Amino acid sequence: MGLLPQLNKLLIQAGIELTEPQKQQLISYVEMLHKWNKAYNLTSVRAPEQMIIRHILDSIVVNEHLDGERFIDVGTGPGLPGVPLAIIRPESHFVLLDSLGKRVRFLRQVQHELGLNNIEPIQSRVEEYQPEIKFDGVISRAFASLTDMLHWCAHLPQTNGRFYALKGAIPEDEIALLPDNYPVNRVMELKVPELDEQRHLVIIDIK
């Protein structure tokens, strides 16, 4: 099965509708990731067919739970989940933050080749990055513990912004350690088609 038929099948299973140009951008992103991965070692997932499941679907199932239009993806790596979300959410703006130059170079090439005007790749350590405009949502995927995320990223969200942490199993121990001024809004189970692993989204408010 080619990548596009595979993507179509998984989108149907996930109940997600996208335009044909969006699907093509997602496929092009996977092809770029596969090509650059050989030299830059951007992800441990080697096969494009697995990238569709583990990177594309794993990222875009979060979309329906996001509120706002301005987001930052901290520790974005090769652009996950920020690039897939930016493709299917063209009205939103995504700052893609990573401290490694090779990842940011890749993201700038993605921005150029895919014509993604709503992503902004930035090379910086998260604690040193000072945005001119704060964010509706701070997103992290396999970035750090919840406590570390809040500690390092406390300066990023606006007053009524939220933190969105993509996790595997529910991090009960991490949730128990959260301070009172960061109440958990909800913990959502995420269903990723053909992925036999737990996925959860922890949404944290700011008091």
Q: Which residues of the chain have pLDDT under 50?
A: none
**Residue 32 has what pLDDT?**
98
Q: How far apart are CA 194 and CA 122, in angstroms?
A: 33
Feature table: binding site: 75, 80, 126-127, 141
Token pair of 62, please? 């979060």
pTM exceeds 0.85, yes or no:
yes
DSSP state of 1: -
- What is the share, in percent, of the chain residues with pLDDT greater than 90? 98
What pLDDT is stored for residue 49 in this prediction?
Answer: 97
- CA 22 to CA 46: how far, in whole Å? 23
What does the chain come to in residues? Answer: 207
What residues are designated binding site for S-adenosyl-L-methionine? 75, 80, 126-127, 141
Fold category of 56-204 in CATH: Rossmann fold (3.40.50)
Distance CA 100, CA 189 (A): 31
Give the per-residue pLDDT at 106: 98
Quote the pLDDT of residue 142. 81
Q: What whole-number distance in Å separates Cα of residue 58 and Cα of residue 85?
A: 10
In Å, how far from its chain's centre is CA 6?
Answer: 21
Residue at token pair 């490694």: 100
